[in-house]
Structure 1
Amino acid sequence: MRSLSSKQRISALAATGALLVAGITAGTAGAAPSGASGAEGARGALPAQLSAAQHTALVKAADSTAAKAADAKALGLDAKEKLHVKDVVKNENGATHVRYERTYDGLPVIGGDLVVHKSPSGKRTGTSRATKAKIAVKTAVPETSLDAHKPATPKAKGSKAPRKVVFAAEGKPTLAWETVVGGTQKDGTPNELHVITDAASGKKLLEFQGVKGGTGESQYAGTVDIGTSGSAGSFSMVDPGRGGNETTDLKNGTSGSGEVFTDDDDTWGDGTPGNRQTAGVDAHYGAGATWDYYKQVHGRDGIAGDGKGARSRVHYGDNYVNAFWQDSCFCMTYGDGEGNQKPLTSMDVAAHEMTHGVTSHTADLNYQGESGGLNEATSDIFAAAVEFHEDNPEDVPDYLVGEKIDIRGDGTPLRYMDEPSKDGVSLDYWTPEADDVDVHYSSGIANHFFFLLSVGSGEREVNGVKYNSPTKYGEEIEGIGIEKSEKIWFKALSEKMTSTTDYADARQTTIEAAEELYGKGSDEAKTVAAAWTAVNVTGS
C-alpha cells in the first residue's frame, strides 16, 4: 500500500479531477391537466414508479400492430412510413407518452422520431415531432452514389459501413448516407462519429458524436467532462471509454469497495465539499486524465497495460488527510482532508496515485531506500506531466505537487520540484544518507533532476509560476522541455529500471533512454547527464 507519510502528514498524493455541471435542458412547462390544480396536478404529471415488468408490458402493448396502425392513421402518415416503439413513459395520473422511431420504405428516418401523448383513457391528446415535414423521397438510388459521395472511409476499429437513410432533421427530407467512424477521439474517448451526407450531392448534412460523457462541478478543476455510463434517469460514474474506471463513495468508511456514484441527469457535484458528488467528480476526472495521458503520450492502454480500469474511492474515514494506492484492490483512495473541507482529489494527486500502479506493473521499484525515493518521484514526475498534458486552465500546469489541496493549511504546495528543500524536509541533492531518508523526501533528488531537465536552472517562469532552481555546483542547465523529459523517464522506467534501482542506476538508465530516443552524443542525452550531476548524482 502506498500512503502518505505520517510525518507532517505529507506523502504520496492522489490525482484529482474536477467536473462541472454544464447541462442545458430544453423543453416547455406544461399546464396542469384540466380539472387538476396546484400540487395535486403537478404530482400527477410526474413519472409513475414502474417495475421492469410493468414497463415491458407497456412497451409491448404500444408495439402491437393495431396500436401502431391506429397512431399512424391518426398522424396521417404515408403507407410507406412505419412506426417503431422506442419507449413508453407513464405518469402518475395514468397518462402515457409513446416514443416512436420511424422508417420510410424500410429506411431509417433521421429526425423522424415523434412522441404520441395519450390520456389515461388512451385518447390521443397531442404529438411532439422532430419534424413536421412530409416525407416523399425516391429511395431507389444507385449504390454507386456511395463511391462518389461517401463521407468517410470506415477504416478505424469499430467503424460501420455506410447505410442508406432518409434525412429529415432539417429542411426538406432527402435520401442520404450515414457513416459511423470508429476508433478513438483526440482525448482517448471512444469515437462513434456519425456523418450524414446527401446521397445525390455528397454535401454533409449532419455530424454528431454518438459517445456522450457527463459533466460535473469540481472543487479544483472547474467545469469538466467525465466518462459515465447509463441513460436518462440512471447514470453511474463508470467510464466505458477508459476500461471501466469507476468512482465510489466509501461514505466515511475505511473498508470495502464503496458504492458507485449514481445520478439522474448526468450532471454531477456543485464544486463544494458539502456535495458528496464533488469529490467523486474530481477523482473521476483525474483518473480519466491520467488514463488519457498514458495512452496518448506513452501508448499504454490502462494503468497495468491491459486495458482494464481502476477504482477511485472517495470519502475515506473522517478528517483523513491522506491518499493512497493499493495493488491488492487496484484502486486509489482519498480522504477529505482537515475538517472534511479539502478532499485530496486534485488532478496531480490522482495522477500520482495511479502512477504507483504503473510503477508496480513496470519497474516495481521497492518502496524503501533510494528505490523508494525513485518510486515516489516517478509519481510526482508523471503527476506534473499529466497536468501539462491536460492543460486545464482552472488547474494550471506547474511543477508543484498538491498545490490545490492545501494540506498544510497555509496555502503552500505539498512539494516543490524546482527546489524540493523549500518544504523543509525534502532533499535537493544526493548524499550517502539518502538511502535512510523517508521516501517522500528522498524523492526530492529525482524531482529536482526532472525539473532541471525539463525547464532548466536559475530563474524561470512557466504558466505564470515563478521558479528559481539551484544546482549543486552552480552550473547552468538549459532544459529540453517536458515532452522529451517525460518520454525519457518512462522509457527508463518501463524498459530499464528494476525493483532495486538506485540513483546511480537511474542516471545510467535515463542516459541510455535518451541516447536511444535522440541519439548518442545528442543534446538531450548530454542534458540528462548534466542534470543528474547538478543534483550530485555522478554515477557509480
Structure 2
Amino acid sequence: MRSSSSRRRTSHTPTRSAAAFALVGVCALLAAAVQSGAASAAAPATLAAGKINPAHAALKLSPSQRAELIRDADAATADTARAIGLGAQEKLVVRDVVKDGDGTLHTRYERTYAGLPVLGGDLVVDTAASGQTEQVVKATQATVKVASLTPAVSASTAEKQALSVARAAGSKQTGADSAPRKVVWAASGKPTLAYETVIGGFQDDGTPNELHVISDAATGKELFRYQGVKNGIGNTQYSGQVTLTTTQSGSTYTLNDGSRGGHKTYNLNRGTSGTGTLFSQSNDTWGNGTTSNAATAGADAHFGAATTWDFYKSTFGRSGIRNDGKAAYSRVHYGNSYVNAFWDDSCFCMTYGDGSGNADPLTSLDVAGHEMSHGVTSNTAGLNYSGESGGLNEATSDIFGTGVEFYANNSSDPGDYLIGEKIDINGNGTPLRYMDKPSKDGASKDNWYSGIGSVDVHYSSGPANHFFYLLSEGSGAKVINGVSYNSPTADGLPVTGIGRDKALQIWYRALTTKFTSTTNYAAARTGTLAAAGELYGTTSAEYKAVQDAWAAVAVGSRSGGGGTSYESTTPVSIPDNGPAVTSSITVSGRTGNAPSNLQVTVDITHTWRGDLVIDLVGPSGTTYRLKNFSSSDSADNVQATYTVNASAQTANGTWKLKVQDQAAQDVGRINSWKLTFP
C-alpha cells in the first residue's frame, strides 16, 4: 500500500505525486560494499572452505544471558549515543543484542528525539570485544532534527485524515484506537514532525485492521502508511499423526506446551475477538483428522507452533520469537469461512481461519512458519510493511516458512519451494507463490526493477524469494522431493546453489545484524554479502554465490567469474532537470557482435530516482532504454543490473551510458557503470 506526498515544484517543470518509499541508510563501510563487494569482515585464511567462521557465528544465548546484555547496553545508551555522534536531543532505546563468538556485540536500538519516537531512526551498533565501535548500520543517514516541535495541524485533523485512508481500505471505524501520537518521521528523507494514527476494526476480508498512518504535522499530508497485521494464506494440508506436548492437571489435559515457553492454543469458536477458550479435554488424543472435531485444527496449530519454535532453536539458537524464551499463543476457528491466517504483534499471537465453507482450516506447517516469522522480523529488523522493505518482510516469512517445512521432514507435507501449494483458491490447483520463478503466479515479480516498491508486498517479495531459491538450489531444471523446478536468471547466466542450510544462515544473520526498518533490495544485497563474508569469508564460494544470485534477479553485479567486464569509475554529475550527460566505456580486443544478454550494471546516486531516464548507447549510436521516467518512484539511487539484447552491435567501440534528470529539485551523480560480456 502506498501513500501520497507532495513536494514544492517550479511552475514550468514536470510534477509528480508519489508514495513514500522506504529509504536505506547504511554506514560508510557497508555502503562501500554495494560498489566494491567488500564485506565488513573477512574470515581468516585458515578457515575451512564451506565452514562457518565461529568467530562470526552468533552464540546461543540463554534468555537470562540475553537479558543481561540488554541491561548492560541500556545502562550505556548515553555513552553510545555520544560515541556514534548523535545530537544532544537524541536518545537510544535498546531493542536487542546479538553476541558473536569473538565477543562482538550487535546491538539494535530505536531512537528518540526530544522525547518523541523517531520512526525510521533505528540502527545497529557493532562493538568489538575491546569496546571499540566497529560500524553503525542506520535506517537513515539524515541528521535527525526538526525545526519545531509544535504541530501546525491538530491531532483531530490527523485522525480524520487517517480514518479516510482506512475507510478506503474497507474499515468501518469511526475513530482511532487512541489519540494520534507525535513522532519524528525519518524513514523517507528529511526528518519531519508528524502524527502516527492507528486505526483498528477489520479489513475487507475480515482480517483485523491495525493501519498505521503517518501524517505531516505541518501540512496534514499523508507521508506513509503500513498495515500492522501481517497476513498471508498458507497450506491447508494437515500434518498427519504427530506428537504434541501438552499439560496434564489432574484428569484434564490442555494444549499448553511447557517445554516451549508455555505456548497455548485456544479455540475462538467462530469469534473474532478475545483469546478464546484453551483447548482442554479428559484424554491426550486431539482431533480425528477431520473438521468434524474442533480439536483437529487445534492439534495442527499446536504442532505448527512447536515445529517453528524448534526450527529457530535448532537452526539459529533462537529461543522463541522474541528470543527471550517466552512463547506466543495460537487461536484457531477465527470467524466464519475466513480464508486466511495472520500474525498480530499487538496480541503477540497467531490466528487461523477455517477456510472457505469452514472446510479447510489454515493450520499447516508453512502457515505457522510464515506467519510466526513475521513476529521474528518485527522483533529484529522491523522491516516496514510497505514498499521494498515490505516485500523483503514478506519474503523473509516465505523463506523461513519454507525452512520450517523442510526442517519438519513430515511425510504428509514434504518440504518444497511452493507457497500454499495445497490451497485451490483460484480453482485451478496451483500454488499461491513459486520461489523458483515467482511470476508463475501471474502477479509476483521475478526480478528487481525501479518501480517494484509500488507493488503489493506479497508480489514485490518475488525477487528475494527468487534470490533465496537460486542461492539454495541454483538455476535451471531439477527435481526436489518430487517437485520439478526450472529457475531462470535475469542475466541469462547460471547460478550454482550453496544449499538451503547455508542460505538460511546468511539470511538470518543479515536480518538480525544488518537489516533495519528501511532496508531495500540494494541494502539487502549489501547486508547478505556482509553476512556471507563474516560467516564464510569474502573469497569463499558462498560469498560469490550471494553476489551471483542477486545479480540473477537484477540487483548488483556478478562475482566476476561469469564473463569479461569493462568498467568506468569516473564520476559524472547529473544536473537538476537539465540536459542528458554521458559516461563512456571503450571495448576492444573482442571479435564479432555483442551478446544478446549484455549486462549493464549501474551505480547512480540520486534522490527521487523516478526523475531519471537511463539509456545505453551502442557504438553505432543505437539507443537501448534501461529505465523510464516514473513520477511515482520516490526512492533513492539506482543500483541495478540490466540485460540488453545488443546482438546487432559490434562489440568493439565506444559504449555510452546516457542519463537525464527530467524533473526539478534533485541532483545526482553517476558513480560507476560496467558492461559485462558473458
C-alpha displacement of 1:519: 0.6
For 2:237 and 2:281, locate their aligned partners in 1 and report how far apart those are by CA, in whole Å. Answer: 18
Partner of 2:188: none
Partner of 1:519: 537
Amino acid at match of 1:220: Y
Q: Say whether residues 1:257 and 2:282 are aligned partners.
A: no
C-alpha displacement of 1:231: 4.6
For 1:290 and 1:403, locate their aligned partners in 2 and report how far apart those are by CA, in whole Å. Answer: 19
Conserved 8 A contact 2:383-2:389: yes
For 2:435 and 2:240, locate their aligned partners in 1 and report how far apart those are by CA, in whole Å. Answer: 25
CA-based RMSD: 1.6
Partner of 2:94: none
Partner of 1:314: 332
C-alpha displacement of 1:410: 3.1
For 2:340 and 2:547, locate their aligned partners in 1 and report how far apart those are by CA, in whole Å. Answer: 35
- Taking a change above 3 Å as real, the CA distance of residues 385 and 219 of structure 1, as seen in their structure-2 partners, is closer
For 2:338 and 2:299, locate their aligned partners in 1 and report how far apart those are by CA, in whole Å. Answer: 19
Give the number of the structure whose residues are more often helix, by fraction.
Answer: 1
Which of 229, 234, 240 is matched with 2:247 structurally?
229
Partner of 1:241: 259
Deviations 1:423-470 (A, max 9, x none): 110010111110100000000110000000000101011111110111
User: Match of 2:242, SS?
Assistant: strand
Partner of 2:352: 334
For 2:237 and 2:370, locate their aligned partners in 1 and report how far apart those are by CA, in whole Å. Answer: 18
For 1:277 and 1:219, locate their aligned partners in 2 and report how far apart those are by CA, in whole Å. Answer: 16
**TM alignment of 1:474-485, pairs within 5 A:** 474-485=492-503
Q: Say whether residues 1:389 and 2:407 are aligned partners.
A: yes
For 2:427 and 2:253, locate their aligned partners in 1 and report how far apart those are by CA, in whole Å. Answer: 35
C-alpha displacement of 1:402: 1.6
Q: Say whether residues 1:502 and 2:494 are aligned partners.
A: no
User: Match of 1:512, SS?
Assistant: helix
For 2:250 and 2:401, locate their aligned partners in 1 and report how far apart those are by CA, in whole Å. Answer: 34
Partner of 1:460: 478
For 2:549 and 2:250, locate their aligned partners in 1 and report how far apart those are by CA, in whole Å. Answer: 53
User: Match of 1:224, SS?
Assistant: coil
User: Match of 1:252, SS?
Assistant: coil
- Taking a change above 3 Å as real, the CA distance of residues 256 and 300 of structure 1, as seen in their structure-2 partners, is same
Partner of 1:411: 429
Report how many aligned residue pairs link the two structures: 325
Amino acid at match of 2:540: S
Which of 322, 334, 349 is matched with 1:304 structurally?
322
Partner of 1:359: 377
Runs of 4+ residues deviating >4 angstroms = none
For 2:437 and 2:496, locate their aligned partners in 1 and report how far apart those are by CA, in whole Å. Answer: 16
| TM-score, normalised with respect to structure 2 | 0.47
Partner of 1:378: 396
Q: Say whether residues 1:439 and 2:457 are aligned partners.
A: yes
Structure showing greater radius of gyration is: 1
For 1:443 and 1:398, locate their aligned partners in 2 and report how far apart those are by CA, in whole Å. Answer: 17
C-alpha displacement of 1:404: 2.6
C-alpha displacement of 1:232: 6.2
C-alpha displacement of 1:387: 1.0
Conserved 8 A contact 1:343-1:405: no
Unaligned runs of 5+ in 1: 1-156, 158-217
Amino acid at match of 1:250: L
C-alpha displacement of 1:389: 1.1
Conserved 8 A contact 2:237-2:413: no
For 1:410 and 1:262, locate their aligned partners in 2 and report how far apart those are by CA, in whole Å. Answer: 38
Unaligned runs of 5+ in 2: 1-61, 63-235, 558-638, 640-678
Partner of 2:553: 535
Q: Say whether residues 1:269 and 2:269 are aligned partners.
A: no
C-alpha displacement of 1:474: 1.2
User: Match of 2:333, SS?
Assistant: strand
Amino acid at match of 1:284: H
C-alpha displacement of 1:233: 2.8
For 1:412 and 1:285, locate their aligned partners in 2 and report how far apart those are by CA, in whole Å. Answer: 25
For 1:531 and 1:289, locate their aligned partners in 2 and report how far apart those are by CA, in whole Å. Answer: 29
Deviations 1:332-375 (A, max 9, x none): 11111111111111100111110000000000000000000000
**TM alignment of 1:27-38, pairs within 5 A:** none
